Amino acid sequence: MREINSQNRRVSVYSRKPMSDINVTPFVDVMLVLLIIFMVTTPLMERGIDVQLPEEKAESVNLEEGFILTIKKDGSVYVQKQMVPMGQLEQNLKDVFAGKKFKEIYIRADKANSYGYVMKVMAAVKNAGISRVGLVTEYIE
């Protein structure tokens, strides 16, 4: 009788085959959960949240070396203290920077201006072929 039991054990031990493939079901479950999390959080990042931007504590720049474009509170644009209509800004900048190898300009915009208007001015600066644009802020101690 013992002999039969020992033979049965041997048979049962040898009849089990090792598992050669990987079970990917838990991996797929985790990936789907991560995908859902990213799908839910991405629109929140795109919409934006009402925040106050940090104040700048960078070292000051010598503005006398570059051209200054000023946007006043009423939306009027000045290039080197000379008023330029918004419609003529791009052509005026092309004329001012014609023949110059290093094209750099600093934009000083009143904080009462809308972000969209400042971006419109920056688009005109870019279309004029000016490669470097700096935004001037007040130094906070």
Backbone angles phi, psi at 77, to 5 degrees: -110, 135
Strand order in the sheet with 104-109: 82-84, 77-79, 67-71, 104-109, 132-135
Query: Which residue ranges form the domains of the chain, and what is each CATH number?
Result: 2-47 (no CATH), 63-135 (3.30.420.270)
Global model pTM greater than 0.95: no
Average pLDDT, the chain: 76
| pLDDT at site 79 | 86
Could you tell me if 92 and 125 are in contact, meaning their C-beta atoms sit under 8 angstroms apart?
no
Q: pLDDT band for position 30 (50/70/90)?
A: very high
Among the listed residues 127, 61, 62, 116, the one whose alpha carbon sits nearest the alpha carbon of residue 93: 127
pLDDT digits (tens, 9 = 90+) for 106-129: 888 888 888 888 899 999 999 998
| pLDDT at site 107 | 86
* 29-33, 54-58, 63-67: the lowest-pLDDT one: 54-58
